[in-house]
Chain A
Amino acid sequence: MQCHEMIEQMDDWCDQRLTEEQARACARHLEHCGDCRLRLHAEQRRREVMATMAVPEPDEGFEQRMLAGAAGGNSRRWSSPAVGAAMAACLVVGLMVGQWMTGGDQLAEVDTSLASEEAGPATQATASGWDLDEPVVPVMDTAVETVRLAFSAGEPMKNVTLTLEMPAHMELASFPGERTISWQVDLEAGQNLLSLPVRNLFPGEGELVAHLDDGERRKTFRTPVGTDAGHNRGES
């Protein structure tokens, strides 16, 4: 075997796709050809390194973000930032549930705020005294708003069932006609942020109702949403 033949077969050698006869011929060549041994070594090193290149892990809230986004039809954009400029008003709803988690039967305070956002992705808003971190930015069409739910839990809670009920003038953006959705979430200690794309079917006001159920207790939170909900900020 000549070097050029060995070189030609080196990929198949590394992929272990040579016939026995071909492999024997390559092995014989490698025994006496230092250059081809070096070539093989370099290619094997390249493969070893590539096969073990690490991928940075996503943060702890990744699973929850993905599942909540799917449930809400929240399709994070992954292309043009210009999409953000087309975002309609962004409704930011803070539901403070920390007291429930830590304070027995003391019902959580519910606070709402309406952040108008004509251009650019959602920015920080404050609800109930929290700074909301850079939230998930959904794909939006002009009729869609993102309801952002900020849950602050005093301690981690696994498998809490979250049920959301939309008022009559809203529906879930990715499920036309659906106004109720229920799924399981894990609440981390501290702030938990969920995004829920909804479509306003017509101008109106109503209540967004959230139920949290940990299997033993169920709490219900209500907050006004709709055209004038923003004016209610601080009044609830």
Chain B
Amino acid sequence: MLDRFRARRFDRLVRPHLRSLYRFAYRLTGNASDAEDLVQEVMVKLLPRTPELEAVDNLLPWMNRVLYRLFLDHKRNIGRRPEGALTLVTEDGDPGNGLDQFTADALGPLGEMENDRLEALVRSVLDELPEAQRTLLVMHDWEGWAQEDLANLMEVSNGTIRSRLHRYRQVLRQALIKKLEQ
């Protein structure tokens, strides 16, 4: 017979974190249905590992990492958004950093734009970014992960995360400018 108390222990452990987990999943996937499916995948995966969960000090970051890896596996499997789908460069081929194109005229509306409008703009640009770029920006700039934690999770150096963030923000800023011009 299945350990009848395992599910109860599991419930007690994970229930307080489910909504945070969902929010992270939502930010990664961009919609409620996929977010819920992803959290469900995590739950299915973790229930048999209940004893292991009980030994984890800080469970939410630990589960976030599991969720992220599942998200990544899924993306690899279905190849949702090809890398480089949105790579903006300047005319001379230099990716620039986006900020140097911000003239006072362009910055005025962006800097003073009301929150709702700016948020809609950012969301729409994020949605068009290649998956890897979107994911890193979501995790750092939206979800608030520290660069060191991201480096650890993605098994790259801190410098790599820093330089990727730098580049991906360039793309984001350039895309914002482009949207503003439309």
In the bound assembly, the distance between CA atoms of A15 and B163 in angstroms comes to 13
Enumerate chain A residues within 8 angstroms of B8, measured Cβ to Cβ: 161, 182-184
Contacts of B37 in A (CB 8 A): 76-78
Cα(A184)–Cα(B10), bound, Å: 10
- Contact A78 B41, beta carbon cutoff 8 Å: yes
Q: Once bound together, how far apart are the Cα atoms of A77 and B141, in whole Å? A: 29
With A46-B118, A70-B43 known as contacts, the answer to whether A180 contacts B107 (CB < 8 A) is no
Q: Could you say which residues of chain B place their CB within 8 Å of the CB of A71?
A: 7, 10, 47
A69 and B40 form a contact (CB under 8 A): yes
**How far apart sit A16 and B32, CA to CA, in the bound complex (Å)?**
33
Instruction: Digitize A145-156: 1 where CB-to-B-CB distance is under 8 Å, 0 elsewhere.
Output: 000000000000
Q: Chain B residues with Cβ under 8 A from A178's Cβ?
A: 1-2
Could you tell me the distance between the alpha carbons of A174 and B47 in the complex, rounded to whole angstroms?
11
Q: Does A38 contact B (CB under 8 A)?
A: yes
A residues less than 8 Å from B33 (CB atoms):
78
Complex interface: chain B residues within 8 A of A55 (CB): 22-23, 26-27
**Count of chain A residues with a beta carbon within 8 Å of a chain B beta carbon:** 54
- CB pair B141–A182 under 8 Å, yes or no, is no
Q: Does A28 contact B (CB under 8 A)?
A: no
CB contacts (< 8 Å) of A15 on chain B: these are: 147, 165
Is A67 among interface residues, defined by CB-CB distance under 8 A?
yes
**Interface hub of B43, B123, B144, B176 (most chain A Cβ within 10 A):** B43
Q: Which of A4, A46, A179 contacts B122 (CB 8 A)?
A: A46
CA distance A62 to B32 in the complex (A): 11
Q: Is the CB of B41 within 8 A of A62?
A: no
| Distance (whole angstroms) from the CB of A198 to the closest CB of chain B | 13
Q: Are B110 and A45 in contact (CB under 8 A)?
A: yes
Most B-side CB within 10 Å, residue of A47, A49, A63: A49
Closest chain B residue, CB of each to CB of A63: B18
**Any B CB within 8 A of the CB of A228:** no
The 20 sampled A-B contact pairs (Cβ below 8 Å) are A4-B100, A10-B99, A15-B147, A15-B165, A38-B108, A42-B110, A45-B110, A57-B22, A62-B18, A63-B19, A67-B10, A70-B7, A76-B40, A78-B29, A78-B41, A78-B74, A79-B77, A161-B8, A179-B1, A184-B11
Give chain B's interface residues, CB within 8 Å of chain A.
1-2, 4-5, 7-8, 10-11, 14-15, 18-19, 22-23, 26-27, 29, 32-41, 43-44, 46-47, 74, 77-78, 97, 99-100, 102-104, 107-108, 110-111, 113, 115, 118-119, 122-123, 137, 141-142, 144, 147, 162, 165-166, 169, 172-173, 176
